[in-house]
Structure 1
């Protein structure tokens, strides 16, 4: 606490961030066991590729936002990468009530903090679906949503730079 009494005023000016998960659900899910359909024989060594897309939008209700994590997971045989083992696509959505986040920080908050809260539930669903689909459970590694956000910002800035040069 400052001697001049500035610290309590600074704390009073800082808005309190309030976030609640109102709901979360699977909007779309597709799993295709290509290995079983083709009847591939022998041992296969899977190579898994996970593509992540994030989306966030304001809902009509005050302070409500919808955040979606979309995964496209492809598993191929390492020895023959043209031989697909399974395909999985999932669109997992969370509805959030968010208040007290400054406008200039809302976009990163929606695309970093909200997916961070949803991810453990999404990881369990992917594990269960791959197991129930006839494969060992796929336990997704933790996704660094902050790095994803930064990479997307850099990609967009580079894209804007190319448009300005043209």
Structure 2
């Protein structure tokens, strides 16, 4: 079958190919508190309620095309029966990326969606290992929808910006 696109037809060149390389991955900060042991809580009926909060940060590094992405996880386990905290885990996990071929207007979502998506399995493993080593069953965090998280943050910023602009509009 012949190529249906004639050579030299003036068609636009193919978009630049995206190149992403992970230069480093690391635990930037981590804290685990086993409150059950610290406070000597009773070993009565325990029904854990686990809450996971995720936040993201990305910044340009001094070297060309290099970026640092930090994912922060705060995992809190409380007993549904009496509200006592069982454990608290905070992890800041970072990665340094070399990224080329991403359009400037797409760089921010790329850094806060694609990069954390790539980092997630490593953080999940750390959380699982730390909770197990801390005396609890290993916690396998559900997959995080980084696109939804990004959209929520954009909506929150737009709402905050609209709220801060509203008082200024009423000034006569």
Match of 1:148 in 2: 149
Point out where structure 1 has 5 or more consecutive residues left out of the alignment: none
Q: Matched residue pairs, number?
A: 164
Deviation by residue 1:76-100 (Cα, 9 ceiling, x = unmatched): 100112x110011000001000000
Q: Secondary structure at the match of 2:16?
A: coil
Q: Does 1:139 align with 2:144?
A: no
- Alpha-carbon distance in structure 2 between the residues aligned to 1:26 and 1:110: 18
Match of 1:67 in 2: 69
Check whether the contact 2:45–2:81 (CA below 8 A) recurs between aligned residues.
Answer: no
Structure 1 residue 6: Cα displacement:
7.5
Q: Larger radius of gyration, structure 1 or 2? A: 2
- Alpha-carbon distance in structure 1 between the residues aligned to 2:146 and 2:161: 22
- Alpha-carbon distance in structure 2 between the residues aligned to 1:39 and 1:8: 75
Match of 1:15 in 2: 16
- Alpha-carbon distance in structure 1 between the residues aligned to 2:50 and 2:66: 35
In structure 2, the CA distance between the partners of 1:113 and 1:7, relative to structure 1 (3 Å rule), is farther
Q: Secondary structure at the match of 2:90?
A: strand
Q: Secondary structure at the match of 2:24?
A: strand
Point out where structure 2 has 5 or more consecutive residues left out of the alignment: 168-172
In structure 2, the CA distance between the partners of 1:128 and 1:150, relative to structure 1 (3 Å rule), is same
Q: Secondary structure at the match of 2:144?
A: coil
In structure 2, the CA distance between the partners of 1:34 and 1:8, relative to structure 1 (3 Å rule), is farther
- Where does 1:14-163 land on structure 2 (aligned, <5 Å)? 14-40=15-41, 41-81=43-83, 83-163=84-164
